[in-house]
Chain A
Amino acid sequence: MSSEPDTPDAETEYQHDEDGGPDPEKHCGHGRGGMGEEVTRKEDKRFITGRGNYVDDIKKPGMLHCEIVRSPHAHARIENIDGSRAEAMDDVVAVLTADDLLEHDLATMPTLMDDTQDVLVNEKVKFQSQEVAAVIATDRYTAKDGAQKVEVEYDVLDPVVDAAEALEEDAPLVRDELDDQEDNHIFDWDTGDKEATEAVFDEADVTVEEDMLYQRLHPAPIETCGAVADWDPGMDKMTVHMTSQAPHAHRTLFSQVSGIPEHKVRIVSPDVGGGFGNKVPIYPGYVVAAAASYVLEQPVKWIEERSENIQTTGFARDYDMTGELAATEDGMIEGVKVDVLANHGAYNAAAQPSKFPAGFFNIFTGSYDIEAAYGSLTAAFTNTAPGGVAYRCSFRVTEAVYLIERMVKVLADELEMDPAEIRRKNFIPSDAFPYESATGWNYDSGDYEKALDKALEMADYEHYREEQQRRIAEDADKLIGIGISSFTEVVGAGPGKQCDIAGIEMFDSADLRVNPTGNAVLRVGVQTQGQGHETTFAQIVAEELGMDVDNISVEHGDTDTEPYGLGTYGSRSTPVAGAAAAVAARKVRDKAKSIAANELEAAEEDIEWDRESGEFHVAGAPDRSITITEIAAGAYMNHPGDEEPGLEAVNYYDPPEMTYPFGSYIVIVEVDRETGEVEFEKFVAVDDCGNRINPMIIEGQIHGGLAQGIGTAMLEKVTYDDNGNVTGGDFMNYLLPTANEIPNFETGHTVTPSPHHPIGAKGVGESPTVGSPPAIVNAVVDAMSHAGVSHVEMPMTPDVVWETLDDVGLSHQPAHNVEFDLGDDAEPADD
Chain B
Amino acid sequence: MKSAPFEHHEPTTVDEAVSLLESLDDPTILAGGQSLVPMLRFRLANPDVVVDINGIDSLDYLREEDGHLRVGALARHADVAESDVIDEKYGSFADAAPLVADPQIRNRGTVVGSVAQADPKGDWGSVLLAHEGEVVARGPDGERAIPAEEFFLLPYDTTLGEDELITEVRVPTPSPNEGSAYHKLKRKTGDYAMAGVGVRLTFNDDGTIESAGIGMTAVDITNARATDAEEHLEGERPSPDLFAAAGELAAEQSNPESDEHGGADYKARMVDVLTQRALGDAAERAGTVTVKRRVTQ
Contacts and interface: CB of A to CB of B under 8 A. Distances in A.
- A–B direct touch in complex (beta carbons closer than 8 A): yes
B297 A814 contact: no
15 contacts: A733-B260, A735-B187, A738-B189, A740-B189, A802-B266, A813-B273, A814-B273, A817-B294, A818-B294, A819-B240, A820-B240, A820-B280, A821-B289, A822-B288, A822-B289
A815 B4 CA distance: 53
A674 interface: yes
Interface stretch (B67-75, B151-159, B241-249): B241-249
A292 B18 CA distance: 48
A828 B189 contact: no
Given A145-B5, A815-B240, A819-B292, A831 B187 contact: no
B185 interface: yes
Contact of A820 (B4, B205, B277, B291): B291
Nearest to B267: A799
Query: Of A741, A819, A828, A830, which is in contact with the most chain B CB atoms at under 10 Å from its CB?
Result: A828
B161 interface: no
B263 interface: yes
A814 B277 contact: yes
Interface of B: 1-5, 42-43, 89, 102, 176-177, 185, 187-191, 194, 203, 205-207, 237-241, 243-244, 247, 260-263, 266-267, 269-270, 272-273, 276-277, 280, 283, 286-297
A121 to B, nearest CB: 21
A144 B41 CA distance: 10
Given A148-B43, A737-B188, 18 more contacts: A141-B3, A474-B296, A476-B296, A674-B277, A738-B188, A738-B190, A740-B188, A741-B189, A802-B269, A803-B266, A813-B273, A814-B240, A815-B276, A821-B292, A822-B237, A823-B290, A828-B286, A831-B177
A475 B295 contact: yes
A151 to B, nearest CB: 15
B292 A677 contact: no
A75 to B, nearest CB: 22
B185 A814 contact: no
Contacts of B293: 477, 817-818
Contacts of A148: 4, 43
A317 interface: no
B290 A820 contact: yes
A821 B290 contact: yes
Contact of A675 (B5, B185, B238): B185
B297 A831 contact: no
Contacts of B288: 822-823, 826, 828-829
Given A675-B185, A822-B237, A814 B207 contact: no
B240 A818 contact: yes
B69 to A, nearest CB: 15
Contact of A145 (B4, B263, B280, B295): B4
A827 B207 contact: yes
A624 interface: no
B273 A141 contact: no
Nearest to A479: B297
A727 B297 contact: no
Interface of A: 140-141, 144-145, 148, 305, 307, 471, 474-478, 670, 674-677, 715, 719, 727-728, 732-733, 735, 737-741, 797-799, 802-803, 806, 811, 813-815, 817-823, 825-831
Contacts of B260: 719, 727-728, 733
Contacts of A471: 297
B188 A477 contact: no
Contacts of B269: 802, 806, 811
A208 B7 CA distance: 66
Contact of B238 (A677, A735, A820): A820
A769 B280 CA distance: 41
Nearest to B203: A828
B207 A820 contact: no
B266 to A, nearest CB: 4
Nearest to A735: B188
A674 B276 CA distance: 11
A826 B266 CA distance: 35
Nearest to A142: B2
A218 B241 CA distance: 46
Given A813-B244, A818-B280, A828-B287, A141 B191 contact: no
Nearest to B191: A735
Contacts of B296: 474, 476
B297 A813 contact: no
A177 to B, nearest CB: 31
Contacts of A802: 266, 269-270
Contacts of B286: 828, 831
A739 B191 CA distance: 14
Contacts of B238: 820, 822
B43 to A, nearest CB: 7
A819 B239 CA distance: 8
A815 B296 CA distance: 14
B202 to A, nearest CB: 10
Given A715-B188, A738-B188, A820-B238, A814 B244 contact: yes
A345 to B, nearest CB: 20
B78 to A, nearest CB: 17
A827 B177 CA distance: 10
- What 3 pairs across the A-B complex have the smallest Cβ distances? A829-B287, A799-B262, A826-B207
A730 B68 CA distance: 40
A703 to B, nearest CB: 18
A112 B107 CA distance: 45
Contacts of A719: 260
Contacts of B102: 738
A140 B1 CA distance: 9
Contacts of A732: 191
Contacts of B295: 474-477, 817
A741 B188 CA distance: 7
B176 A830 contact: yes
Nearest to A812: B273
B283 to A, nearest CB: 8
A394 B55 CA distance: 54
A524 to B, nearest CB: 36
Nearest to B239: A820
Nearest to A731: B190
Contacts of B291: 818-821
A682 to B, nearest CB: 15
A828 B207 contact: yes
Contacts of B191: 732, 735
B280 A814 contact: yes
A733 B263 CA distance: 16
A477 B295 CA distance: 8
Contacts of A797: 187, 262
Contacts of B294: 817-819
B247 A814 contact: yes
B289 A823 contact: yes
B292 A818 contact: yes
Contact of A478 (B176, B206, B276, B297): B297
A373 B16 CA distance: 77
Given A140-B2, A477-B293, A822-B289, A675 B270 contact: yes
Nearest to A717: B260
A275 B20 CA distance: 48
A813 B188 CA distance: 23
A13 B40 CA distance: 61
Contacts of A741: 188-189
Nearest to B248: A813
A659 B194 CA distance: 44
Contact of A799 (B3, B203, B247, B266): B266
Contact of A803 (B185, B188, B237, B263): B263
A208 B269 CA distance: 33
Nearest to A308: B1
A806 B241 CA distance: 20
Contacts of A674: 273, 277
A307 B44 CA distance: 14
Nearest to A817: B294
B91 to A, nearest CB: 11
A813 B263 contact: no
